[in-house]
Amino acid sequence: MEAAASWRCRPGGRLDMSHGFVRHIRRNQIARDASEGAVRQARGRARGRLTPTPPRPRRPDQQVYRPRRPGGPGGDASPGPPPSDARGPRLFCLEYEGDDGRVTAVIVHQGDSAEEVTRRVCARSPLEPALRRALCQRVQDELSKRRGTG
């Protein structure tokens, strides 16, 4: 019985690795690691060859939503009762974006005139006379559309 037990394990409780099976497994692992490294390196080289595409041009005519901030810059909030009682109901909010990117917002009521609205916009964002006339005409068109007279 002692003879049979001696060939199964060596002193110290270690397995007999002299058969070479583990060497084959280790060689396969090394070959697999080398192969994966080559594939990773080839992917990296392929990625470097691609030419980057230029960014898509921004469309300047695309409308951008900018929520109103009551009492903030461009807002039409003033202390006291709302002025809509004297000038009638609100028709629309006119937003003007200047060359510096600053947005001026003015609430237009039914009783407002185009000249008065233009004056309020120009008080916050000065305009050249030609732009002032164009704005006045555009406000007049919008007012007549919304009042049903145009």
In a domain, 109, yes or no: yes
In a domain, 79, yes or no: no
- Angle at which helices 114-124 and 129-147 pack, to 10 degrees? 130
User: What is the pTM assigned to this prediction?
Assistant: 0.42
* Residue 32 domain-assigned (yes or no): yes
Residue 41: how many CB atoms within 10 A of its CB? 10
pLDDT tens per residue across span 53-86 = 666 666 666 677 778 777 655 445 444 445 445 6
User: Domain end: 27, 50, 73, which one?
Assistant: 50
Domain-embedded: residue 55: no
**pLDDT score, position 41:** 87
In a domain, 137, yes or no: yes
| Beta bridge partner(s), residue 107 | 93
Longest dimension (CA), the chain: 116
Note whether 88 and 142 are same-domain residues.
yes
Separation CA 122–CA 107 (nearest Å)? 14
pLDDT digits (tens, 9 = 90+) for 26-48: 899 999 999 999 998 888 776 65
Q: What is the pLDDT of residue 62?
A: 66
Query: What integer best gives the mean pLDDT of the chain?
Result: 77
Number of domains in the chain: 2
Cα distance between residue 91 and residue 110, in whole Å: 6
What is the Cβ-side half-sphere exposure of residue 91, based on CA atoms within 13 angstroms? Answer: 21
Is the residue at 61 inside a domain?
no
Same domain, 46 and 88: no
Q: In this structure, are 88 and 136 located in the same domain? A: yes
- Give strand pairing partners of 105: 95
Q: Is residue 88 domain-shared with residue 44, that is, in the same domain?
A: no
- Its domain, for residue 127, covers 84-147
Whether residue 16 is predicted with pLDDT greater than 90 in this model: the reply is: no
